[in-house]
Structure 1
Amino acid sequence: MGKEVAVLVYPGCMGMEVFALTDLVLMANHLASHMQPARVDALRVRLVTLRASPVAIAGGLSVVAQRLRGRPDLIVVPGLEVSRFGEWDERFAHLGEELKAIRRFHRQGIALASVCIGSFVLAEAGVLQGRRAATAWPFVNEFQDRYPDVQIEKDAVLVSDGGVTTTGAVSSVMDLGQHLIRENFGVAVARAVGKLALIDGGRVSQRAYVDNALIPQNRAPFSGQVNRWLTSRLSEAYNLGALADEFHVTSRTVLRRYRQETGMTPLQWLQKARIERAKYLLELSAMPMAEVVATVGYQDLATFSRLFARETGQTPGHYKRRFQMKGVAGLRRG
């Protein structure tokens, strides 16, 4: 008999993270039956709940799931709907039954996995303490603040540590599915599923997808003013002395106060802001690469490329080929 995977359906969980996994495994079972006819170890996926069925998931949809009984080989916890940052106490106040059950599953030695910010649910249940974990990139800072005893791997798409597997953002349910398929059927079947489903099975990092404009920005008074001043001068050479003069303090005071509020230097923040601007231009404009580089304050393409690759894990050219949106190449930010 093959392994049994139970997807835990609970109020407010994300439908894609529930059904994408069941569909991928269904495809894998069909392909494996043709590619490996002598094998009978199909993966079995069922939707389970701790509540009365049907369950109202994200978007108000209703899902019929079985009451969880028996001992599955793996329990998958999807992420939950989030419309704003913070407010985790409110969200978890409605999931007491699930948190209690996850602790029980863990004590029983049942393997656990999460999709996207399902990692928050596992961490809240206490099963990630002292472990390495992944979560969706917009929520890394909140995760670190709330669960300092978990070693978050902020760029990772999938992390397995001691029988607990966590993944990155919403679409990482595909990566989790491919991971389970490889474990159960081997590389050949996983590759075939990826080809049919148009899944890039080689994702290891979330860095290329990070857009800091989607994350709440620093509201500290001094560094916030510095950031606005630097943003208005992205194409200009960095000049710490001019920055200090603008705020009527010494260069040393700028560095001290800025680091106290942000943990970095103004130049480090400026480099990240320039990379974000460059990513936007590469995605949504037809600018030649040299013009993009000059627009964000660099003169040397090689230097810029090294910084860009360090932040995104890709060269500017590869990033542009992968992410440029067709049909809007003439758009420029005002």
Structure 2
Amino acid sequence: MLPARRCFGHVDIDQFIAIIASMKTLRIAVLAYHGCMPTQLFGVADVLRIAADLDGNLGAKKRMRVQVELIALSGRSVAVAGGIPVQLKRPAGAYDLLIVPGLETRRHVDWAEKMAPLAREVEFIRNSFARGTPVAAICVGAFLLGEAGLLDGRKATTAWLFAGDLAARYPLAKVHSDAILAEDGAVITSAAVSSVFDMVIHLVKRHLGAEVAMATAAVALLPAERASQAPYVDNTLREPALPNFSQHVMQWLTSRLADKYDLETVAQAFHVSGRTLMRRVKEETGKSPLTLLQEARVDKAKLLLRTTRRSTVQIIEDVGYTDVASFTRLFVRVVGESPAKYRQRGAAAMRG
């Protein structure tokens, strides 16, 4: 365990890493609770066991012993997502890291109602952190950290589908909706379900070194390090978040993606001046009408890249661009990769 444990209100993370590096045993707890995702619960333990085994077989002296404990506050059977019962033990002693998996949920969720049965877990998270235990949350496990007050003033991320909900429920959090991992002091949050593996490889790299992390990823067939959720975002799965006026403007623009953009033409369609249109859309969305149009064009291009065999040039023309280089720069800025890379990755996923 950590010597001279301390509160992480203002942590020196480099000092913390140095302390961890000097330890012989790293004790990690993964907090299970009713409805949590078993993929994340067991994924942490499974990959860390692979990493610990590799650490002792790569020629270098074994760095430390990694001890992973799956715990539940009840100390008895917990029904994880899908109603599957899992027998676990109570937490005992101090841990060097507490990991909180996400929970089963739907797109339409009342977060207050969802969090209410987890008050005991939230209190445990809050108290553990106050005693000096760093905390990591996977996927929508970030909401439990938010309930505990750990995200206030900190960078955070979660599944892209629920990033808006996280930002709305915890307005003091600095939500980075595109990030795969967000680390701020002794708090780490990660993206959607499979980011459990990004999280674990990150922890392996930190505590066992880059060589072990690379070997673990290779043995477990985990993808190369991912930096952004943006390539995976599908806005058709999101609830319309725009206020009424901006939603109508967006619908008007979306129905005319191939048309040349002209602010005054759009304004006339809504019987307002160009200045008024700009002001109202900016106040409601924080964006300009042109930005809304660009995002809609990128969304349409993504759909066509996934579902048709039209050439990239044809698709770019379909969404209103004649300059391939200009649209490619826009696509990369929004999605994080080129149209060609996006199509290639999507095709590979379809082939399975």
TM-score normalised per structure 1: 0.93
One of 93, 97, 110 as aligned partner of 1:87: 110
The answer to whether structure 1 residue 74 and structure 2 residue 97 are counterparts is yes
Q: C-alpha offsets along residues 198-225 of structure 1, whole Å, 9 cap, x if unaligned?
A: 2124211111112211211135322222
Counterpart in 1 of 2:253?
A: 230
**Partner Cα distance (2:82, 2:149) in 1:** 28
**Partner Cα distance (2:71, 2:292) in 1:** 45
One of 292, 305, 310 as aligned partner of 1:282: 305
Runs of 5+ unmatched residues, structure 1: 329-334
**Partner Cα distance (2:279, 2:184) in 1:** 38
Counterpart in 2 of 1:46?
A: 69
The answer to whether structure 1 residue 113 and structure 2 residue 113 are counterparts is no
**Partner Cα distance (1:142, 1:25) in 2:** 31
The answer to whether structure 1 residue 181 and structure 2 residue 199 are counterparts is no
| Alpha-carbon distance, 1:32 to partner | 1.9
Counterpart in 2 of 1:263?
A: 286
Moved runs in structure 1, 4+ residues, more than 3 A? Answer: 325-328
Aligned length: 328
Runs of 5+ unmatched residues, structure 2: 1-23
Q: C-alpha offsets along residues 1-39 of structure 1, whole Å, 9 cap, x if unaligned?
A: 421111000011111111111111121122222214742
Alpha carbon RMSD of aligned pairs, Å? 1.8
Q: Do the aligned partners of residues 262 and 157 (structure 1) sit closer, same or farther apart at CA in structure 2, a change above 3 Å counting?
A: same
Counterpart in 2 of 1:161?
A: 184
Kept after mapping to 1: 8 A contact 2:242/2:284: no
- Secondary structure of the residue that 1:35 maps to in structure 2? coil
- 2:152 maps to amino acid: Q
Of 167-176 and 130-139, deviating more is: 130-139
- 1:93 maps to amino acid: A
Percent identity for Structure 1 against Structure 2: 40
One of 312, 315, 319 as aligned partner of 2:342: 319
Kept after mapping to 1: 8 A contact 2:63/2:208: no
Counterpart in 2 of 1:25?
A: 48
The answer to whether structure 1 residue 305 and structure 2 residue 328 are counterparts is yes
One of 139, 146, 150 as aligned partner of 2:173: 150
Q: C-alpha offsets along residues 223-267 of structure 1, whole Å, 9 cap, x if unaligned?
A: 222221111111111122322232233323322332233222221
- 1:233 maps to amino acid: R
**Partner Cα distance (1:324, 1:242) in 2:** 39
| Alpha-carbon distance, 1:318 to partner | 1.7
**Partner Cα distance (1:134, 1:307) in 2:** 23
